[in-house]
Amino acid sequence: MKLPNITILDESDKRLRKKSQEVTFPLNDTQRQTINNMITYLTMSQIKETQEKYHLRAGWGLSAVQVGLLERIFVIVEEIEKETFKHYIVINPKILSHSEEKIYVGEGEGCLSVNRDVVGIVPRYARITISAYDMDGNPYEIRVREDVAIAFQHELDHLNGILFVDHINKKNPFQGKELMREI
């Protein structure tokens, strides 16, 4: 596997604060290549050997805006067994429903565009159902839960110009913790 030539924008880049545009189909070659590059990068970032070789921070998800393409596309790469991955390609997503239950990542959320430690909790829904399109323009619905639901919500935020740090209360970073479940 060859490391793709992509640059992940840092949180100081103003493009990360813009709302991404809806995608029209069919996808062009640039869009397809961007999706494939993001999947390869995320996969390599989760394999210890390539992570160390290329000095990569592990990541589960990337939105197109993080690599400079302001379009409503994100990918999630979930390791389901050691070095066995499930890919989610999500284009023009819309949340159809969500649980009442909220959860948060105990050790805190991270982001490949935020290169600093951030303390605090990010409230997320425990389960969400979204509608989206695949690379060929076929519509689908998917219900995700727990850590995958958090990753989907994190990437959906990127498409709307929101970073996870925006959800953390600056004065009380652990506010409402007792009302949510830690995962």
Q: Known catalytic residues? A: 155
How far, in Å, CA of 183 to CA of 148, rounded? 11
Q: What is the DSSP letter of 71?
A: B
Q: Cβ(102)–Cβ(142) under 8 Å?
A: no
Q: Cβ(163)–Cβ(16) under 8 Å?
A: yes
Q: What is the DSSP letter of 59?
A: -
CA nearest neighbour of 119 among 105, 133, 131: 105
Outline where 22-138 has alpha helix (H): 29-46, 48-54
Alpha carbon 109 to chain centroid, angstroms: 11
**Which H or E run contains 92?**
strand 84-98
